[in-house]
Each structure stands twice: as structure tokens, then as C-alpha cells.
Amino acid sequence: MQIRETSIKGLVEIFPRVFEDERGAFFESYNEEAYRKAGLPTNFVQDNQSFSVKGVLRGLHFQNAPFAQGKLVRVISGRVLDVAVDIRPDSPTFGKYEVFELDGKKNNLAYIPEGFAHGFVTLEDTIFSYKCTNLYSKASESGIIWNDPDLAIDWGVKDPIVSEKDIVLPTFKSLFA
């Protein structure tokens, strides 16, 4: 397993060791001992999976305390542009974001710690999976509008398909000003 640190503390991209031969491929998408040795969280309590057609944008979502979640995200099949925004007010990178291209053929993952808003847009039909460090709580859910002018995220997709719930999320400034 290789880990790529990002410019935002705690936010990393993970490249598992993939074994390929004429039969196909095998890799460990999660190994508690390897993650512990790498300093990554190992206590995941919920797994989620979604299927989205090409052009769907989900997010930017987060859970407020006490249900804040760290997420280990990956694509089972397909490809996404994955975005994590630092919403930790005391962080030197507060309001900054990182973009990952997660690909079911590359098998790369991203670990997104608590204190981040998260979203993705599908670049092709995609099965997306993620492990969470805390249980989901409807009362604690929140989010930031995907096309926030201050964040100015380039999603790389013109006219994405966005849910009615996500289209009315507040701006970053209205939540954190």
C-alpha cells in the first residue's frame, strides 16, 4: 500500500498493492493492521454503496458533531471526480479543498477525515463505496451547495444531475461566516 499525502493534513490518497495475472486482479481494499501502521483510522462502523449514472453530482455533504464521520471512499466500477473541503474552523487549510480522480481500474481510495464536506461527480456510470467512522444521523446531516462561488470547484462536468435536496444546500459563507 502506498499513501499520497495531500496539501491538507489528514486527507490522503491510498494506492493498494494490486496483484494481476491472466485470471484478473486481486487487492485488499482494507486491511486493519496496514491502516493502523500507516496512522489511518481503523474503526469503521458503517459501509455505504451507491450507483450513479454518468453526470450525477452528490454533495457536498457532512455530518455535524457528535455524528461527524471520517470516510474511506473508493470506486468499485466506473470513475469519479471526488472532492473534500476542509470545514475545520481552526485548520490552516479551512475552506480549501482537494480533488481526487477515483477509478475502479486503478483501485485507488481516499481517506477523508472528520471535519470535511465531501462530494463527487460521476465521469461514467459508477458504483461508489465508502466506510464511515460514525453512524449516519439525519438530524446531524448538513452540506454546502456544489457550485458555491467562493469555493469555485471545477467539477469538470457541464450541467451535472443534482438532487433536489443538494440543489438547495447553503453556501460555505452562510454556514461558516
Active site residues: 61, 130
Instruction: Count Cα neighbours of 33 within 13 Å in the Cβ-side half-sphere.
Output: 1
Distances (CA, A) of 149 to 97, 100, 111, 144, 171: 14, 20, 26, 11, 8
Could you write out the three-class secondary structure of 99-145? EEEEECCCCCEEEECCCEEEEEEECCCEEEEEEECCCCCHHHEEECC
Strands 161-162 and 56-63 come out as parallel
Give the Cα-Cα-Cα angle 39, 90, 138 (nearest 5 degrees): 75
